[in-house]
Amino acid sequence: MTFDVDWACDEILLDTIEIVKAAGVSATFFATHDTPLLARLRKNPLFEVGMHPNFNEILRGTPKAGGMSAAEVVDALALIVPEARSFRSHSLSWGDVISQAIRSVGISTVSNCLIPEQSGMVLKPYADWYGLVHAPYFYQDSACFFFQENSSLHQLAKRDGLKVFDFHPMNVYLNSERQERYEELRPFVREPSHLLKHRYDGEGSRSSLLRLLELG
């Protein structure tokens, strides 16, 4: 179980943390920013805090990048989560420069390659020439929005090979069933009470997470 924090406000992140905590399962939370909730994650022996840096502004060449290099982005986040040994970048950005940067701060495991379950491939971890161990993943809640057919979670849980699931606290909070729900509510990401009024009452990210956790 993995979760991309994606700058979720504390109330939204805490909602996901409490769901996973109640299920008593292990999970990795890929952190994007500093928050008092990191201390709560660190206290739970079943939880791991990983690194989820954002290189998008560098790739776009926007002023928001502030002239930072990829290595400087990694170093800045390493100051917030110095214990991080796992990595997934925002938008799954990757390259040799990033590999070298994350190795320099102690990252050993990378889950940065999404191979959708629809491929039918049996996934396995592998090591690269930098000594990084890669754990590809096959389920991402937001990726499911774009496929007309998705296997049931029960079927996925029985698949052979490595099975890494990825959810986003914002989607869990909204029980998103389509990308548009998130995009339409993006201006209110810091207003949980408003978002709650727009939580989907059908099959979405939240209901999928709950069903998956019930499978153990």
Q: Residue 26 contacts by C-beta under 8 Å, 6 or more apart in sequence?
A: 1, 46, 47, 48
- pLDDT value, residue 207: 95
Handedness of CA 51, 81, 49, 41 (dihedral sign): negative
- pLDDT value, residue 62: 82
The DSSP output letter for 68 is: -
Interatomic CA distance for residues 112 and 177, integer angstroms: 23
- For 100, other C-beta atoms within 10 Å of its C-beta total 13
Radius of gyration over every alpha carbon of the chain, rounded to an integer in angstroms: 17
Interatomic CA distance for residues 147 and 150, integer angstroms: 7
Q: Say whether 37 sits in a helix, a strand or coil.
A: helix
Domains contained in the chain, CATH given:
2-214 (3.20.20.370)
189 in Cβ contact with 196 (< 8 Å): no
- For 57, other C-beta atoms within 10 Å of its C-beta total 14
- pLDDT value, residue 146: 86
Two structure tokens written together for 1: 């179980």
Bridge partners, residue 4, by sequence: 30
- pLDDT value, residue 128: 97
Q: How many helices (H) and strands (E) does the chain have?
A: 11, 9
Please tell me whether the overall predicted TM-score, pTM, comes out greater than 0.75 for this model.
yes
pLDDT, block means (10 residues), the chain with 216 residues:
97 98 97 98 98 94 82 97 98 97 98 95 97 97 86 90 97 94 93 96 95 89
